[in-house]
Amino acid sequence: MSTRVGAGTEAPRTRAGATIDPGMSTLPATAPRPATRRPTRQRTAIAHALGESDQFRSAQDLHASLDRRGVRVGLATVYRALQAMVADGEADVLRTEDGEALYRACSPHHHHHLVCRSCGLAVEVEAPPVERWAAQVGTSHGFTDVVHTLEVIGTCSACRT
């Protein structure tokens, strides 16, 4: 399940001004974590930089942040590391309406996000009633292995003031 910004409602934007399309939502991180992914210097630096913010960030933003710190990592390496982190359930990815992938470090359990439309702040939230509803809808239509995503978009208290 995904949410859509209704008519007359401004689509959420990241700090960089990119519009977030909640209809694209996040991709579920359902793959099991591999037991032997090598913790390279680059991957460790990328994971650390990603974990410093509660906001979704682009690979280019992370690359620039690392470069400013003197950490030399190629942009292609940043993309590969982020894709691996998503596959391993260590990061979430949101797609903007123009297709750009934005990443955020996440916890390993299933969760949803409350995202600020002004600054991009993302808060992980659990929603047991949504989990039950999704399972019931799938079952009632004969589906199995049902997964879903949900993004709740609003304005955080810091941006309201």
Residue 54 token pair: 């509660």
Determine whether the annotation assigns residue 106 to a binding site: no
Residues 138, 56, 86, 105, Cα dihedral to 10°: -110
Determine whether the annotation assigns residue 141 to a binding site: no
Determine whether the annotation assigns residue 156 to a binding site: yes
Look at the block and give the residue holding tokens 């991180």.
Answer: 29
Per-position DSSP letters for 71-118, written without gaps between them: ----HHHHHHHHHHHHHTTSEEEEEBTTS-EEEEE--SS--EEEEETT
Determine whether the annotation assigns residue 110 to a binding site: yes
- R_g (Cα) of the chain, nearest Å: 17
Determine whether the annotation assigns residue 159 to a binding site: yes
Binding-site residue positions for Fe cation: 110, 131, 148
Binding-site residue positions: 110, 116, 119, 131, 148, 156, 159
Binding-site residue positions for Zn(2+): 116, 119, 156, 159
